[in-house]
Amino acid sequence: MDELADILIAKRQRRKAPELETVESKLSFDENGICVGVAPRGRGKSERMIEEFMLTANEAAAKLAREKKAPFVYRVHETPPEEKTEKLREMLPKMGIECPQFTEMKPSHAAEILARSKDTEFSEAVNIMVLRSMAKAKYSPEPLGHFGLVLEDYAHFTSPIRRYPDLAIHRIITDILAGYSSDWLAKRYEGFVSNASERSSAAEVRAVSIERECDDCCKAEYMKPHVGESFTGRISGVTESGFFVMLPDTIEGMVHIRTLPEGEYDCSPPLCLTEKFSGVTYKLGAEVRVLCTAVNVSDGKIDFALDDED
């Protein structure tokens, strides 16, 4: 299994599939359901092995349906919209990262950008920017392919416990394997797959949003006893209202502009916030020392301020 996983990983790399490195959080709770630990979630070889086998099974299921011309619920990831890739091309040179020349972004271009930013101070930020430049994956009755995986055929087949789309296509595959004709399958499932795709995409958006809000509330709960403490983190985002700082444990809070030294600030999101007269700049990826000043558990908000002793 280990050897097979390595072969599949190598095949994906040869397809120039972009390998995004986003950090997920692992939350720990006590016997009362209170969040008492937050840490980056690691991914070991065994998980990567299972993931590769799942991807292969998903591809096989989608390929079967396409070749049989059966109605199906595909997992699709379309080419990134031009307005988003244009913003990426505009921002990369400002970070000192050369952007490949292209009129339409290909997976190989995204992979090249990630490779060029690796081991730089902007690596994490570029990963997030590339991710945000892409179209959102969704469910579709049309086999539109998967940009991020560089696959012509893809569907969600492997997780029936948690996903309705998987159950939907299990039902269809059962009838394909039973030998029903393309005409019979079309009559039975064409309306069903359109409805299932639309409802599943909408449900996924809601679920992801709720999950993020829940994570934010748990992280705020964890930080509540740490108000007044000092931490070292990196600037993870810049807005006109201030900048976000992420700690090594994935906790993220905001340093509001009103808490910064008095002055006039120019904002160049998402790269930097600069005080006009002193030239002091708060730059994406820069290490800063912050104090946790306030926490709102209900809203999942954490406030930081620059540590005066920094």
Cα(97)–Cα(95) distance, integer angstroms = 5
pLDDT number for residue 121: 82
Amino acid 162: pLDDT: 67
Residue range 182-227, pLDDT digits in tens: 999 999 999 999 999 999 999 999 999 999 999 999 999 999 999 9
Q: Which residues contact 4 (CB under 8 A, 6 or more apart)?
A: 52, 53
**Cβ(158)–Cβ(58) below 8 Å:** yes
Q: What is the rounded CA–CA span in Å between residue 206 and residue 98?
A: 36
59 touches 151 (CB < 8 A): yes
Residue range 28-84, pLDDT digits in tens: 999 999 999 999 998 899 999 999 999 999 999 999 999 999 999 999 999 999 988
pLDDT band at 229 (very low <50, low <70, confident <90, very high): very high
On the question of pLDDT at 139 being above 90, the answer is yes
Output the pLDDT for position 107.
95
| Token couple for 250 | 């994935």
H-type helices in 22-163, by residue range?
A: 45-67, 82-91, 107-117, 123-133
String of b and e for 246-270 (b: at least 16 CB within 10 Å)?
bbebbbbbbbbbeebeeeebebeeb
CA dist., res. 73 & res. 241, Å (int): 42
* Domain 227-306, architecture per CATH: Beta Barrel (2.40)
Burial 215-241 (b: 16+ CB within 10 A, else e): bbbbbbbbbeeeeeeebebbbbbbeee
Question: Residue 187, Cα to own-chain centre: how many angstroms?
Answer: 37
At 159, is the pLDDT very low, low, confident or very high (cuts 50, 70, 90)? Answer: confident
pLDDT in tens, 240-297: 999 999 999 999 999 999 999 988 999 887 788 999 899 999 998 899 999 999 999 9
Instruction: State pTM to two decimals.
Output: 0.90
- CB count within 10 Å of CB 114 equals 19
Domain residue spans of the chain: 2-78+135-221, 227-306
**DSSP of 136-150, one letter per residue?**
PPEEESS---BTTTT
Contact (Cβ atoms closer than 8 angstroms) between residue 131 and residue 118: no
